[in-house]
Amino acid sequence: MVLELQKPRPIWQIMFSTHHTDIGLLYLISSLAFLFLGGSLALAIRIELFLPNIEGTGQIIADSMTFNRIFTVHGTTLIFLFIIPFASAVGNYFVPIMVRYKDMAYPKLNAIAFWMIPPAAVLVWLGFADFTWYAQPPYSIISAPGPAADMWIFGLKILGVSSVLGAINFVITILKCKHPDMSIGQVPLLAWSFLATSVIIIVAIPTFAAALLMLLTDRLGVSGFFNPAMGGDPIAYSHLFWFTFHPEVYVLVLPAIGMMYEIIPRFSRKPIYSYNSGVFAFVMLALVAFSSWGHHMFATGMSFTEKTVFMVGTLAAVPASAMHVFNFIATMWNGRIKFATPMMWAVGGIALFFAAGAGGVVNTAMPLDFSTHDSYWVVGHFHLFVMGTIAFASIGMVYYMFPYVTGRMYNETAGKIHFFLSFVGTILVFFTQHVLGLYGMPRRVFDYPPIPEWIAMNQIASVGAMIIGVSMAIFLVNMIYSSGKGQLANTEDPFGLGGKYYYPFEAKNPHH
């Protein structure tokens, strides 16, 4: 896996490679680049909201249209260009080795799936659409300015195809290409998380792909699927969208849980408490992922029965998620834990995962949803998942993979400072946003009335965001510096854990 910094190859050899670790490297670098790009848009949002606009002061961003475009591209970038490609990076590095196969099942398809991402990213970033990441009609049909909106639609279309191709590849690799001596019950939990995720993608994404086409033809004026002026129904779009994107939440979070399953037993120097309950919980989550999409739509005028069904479907996801948390804690229990940087990120991620899940129970309890829906509570809630859980596990994984990818060690002190600042910052931003939502502040607002509580909480959140920004700058410097000048890593056991529970990373697949 050792990166070319030690044995340089021309860059085009990596770019045109179909080898799984090369594709993994491309995914890794591009997804981290988008983490920084999307994150800087978040800082712009938080700077704008630091003060309400009182007689021209406190306004940083020129107009609300720019602001609306910024939060749209922020969400689109971090979900589709950071979280999902990052999971693919980890999957590419680990899954073939874990199932003991020489590569992914379809190496060329693998390369194609990656190379669909850059053009999609170009469309999203050059377009800079303004209709939020879910493009709700009829706004997105009759009001959103083109060509930005159309570019976004095409970009998402390409990303959807890329996801499906990647998912097919993972499913075939795990089910068909695993070593004949290996039963499915011996496949490590990280690979299991990719199996569950990939099945969800294959079932869920086509629905959104269809909805996107309908949205495009609606925008062109040749159809009226979602346009009430032409007899369509905008709520139909919401159903199609959330049928894909509630399961997508699990697409994002399951690989992150898989990464924690890789990190936590290693650094606890213990085997996982219960492999079987981990597998069971992955399968359960993949199933119940499809029973809860309607909880995003309680306020669209759903009937009492519909709301009840979706509330029960949502609550059904809680026991399975709780089983993962139990498994992590039981694994750490009595372990000889080494709190190296990856372990700190994983444990911090579990704590925030628990907090995010608790908030989710509040959201789905029907009467309470009407207090939290579309308020800053929701922003805080899902960011505890995407930032607190998924980005935390992913960044832990970056540190964990770093010695294998570069052959060098990152700076441990800088890694720990990065963690502490990010953890404190995340709590300041997103816990505060929960409270802000209970005070009634709507999401996606460019400006807000000068209510003292709102100002105070927005300022706490903005300070937290700045702390995260500083920590991410430390991260960037640490990664760049250490990959060139860091200490050479002992690739047999870079974290000094003792080899007993260690995964055989020395298993390398030769380039072909």
Residues that bind another protein (CB under 8 A): 64-65, 68, 130-132, 136, 138-139, 142-144, 228-229, 233-235, 271, 273-277, 299-301, 304, 307-308, 311-312, 315-316, 318-319, 322-323, 326-327, 330, 361, 364-368, 370-371, 373-375, 439-440, 442-449
Angle, helices 148-176/64-76, rounded to nearest 10 degrees: 10
* Closer to another protein by Cβ: residue 307 or 408: 307
Could you tell me which of 411, 377, 379, 383 has the C-alpha nearest to residue 468? 383
Residues 6+ apart with CB under 8 A from 319: 284
Query: Cβ of residue 446: shortest distance to another protein, in angstroms?
Result: 4
Q: Which two tokens stand for residue 104?
A: 């992914």
Query: Cβ of residue 49: shortest distance to another protein, in angstroms?
Result: 10
Angle, helices 341-364/376-383, rounded to nearest 10 degrees: 140
* Closer to another protein by Cβ: residue 192 or 404: 192
* Closer to another protein by Cβ: residue 118 or 450: 450
Query: Cβ of residue 348: shortest distance to another protein, in angstroms?
Result: 22
* Closer to another protein by Cβ: residue 297 or 479: 297
Query: Cβ of residue 115: shortest distance to another protein, in angstroms?
Result: 33
Asked if 133 contacts 75 with a C-beta cutoff of 8 angstroms, the reply is yes
Instruction: Say if residue 119 is preceded by a cis peptide, omega within 30 of 0.
Output: no
| Rounded Cα gap, residues 191 and 480, in angstroms | 29
Q: Which two tokens stand for residue 256?
A: 């992150």
Query: Cβ of residue 56: shortest distance to another protein, in angstroms?
Result: 15
End-to-end Cα separation, the chain, in angstroms: 14
User: How does DSSP classify residue 145?
Assistant: P
* Closer to another protein by Cβ: residue 222 or 229: 229
Give the dihedral sign, CA 79/356/444/295.
positive
| Rounded Cα gap, residues 460 and 455, in angstroms | 9
* Closer to another protein by Cβ: residue 19 or 373: 373
The dihedrals phi and psi of 225, each to the nearest 5 degrees, come to -55, -45
Query: Cβ of residue 19: shortest distance to another protein, in angstroms?
Result: 33
* Closer to another protein by Cβ: residue 106 or 326: 326
* Closer to another protein by Cβ: residue 277 or 491: 277
| Rounded Cα gap, residues 297 and 304, in angstroms | 12
Residues 6+ apart with CB under 8 A from 347: 264, 332, 339
Query: Cβ of residue 260: shortest distance to another protein, in angstroms?
Result: 17
Query: Cβ of residue 422: shortest distance to another protein, in angstroms?
Result: 28
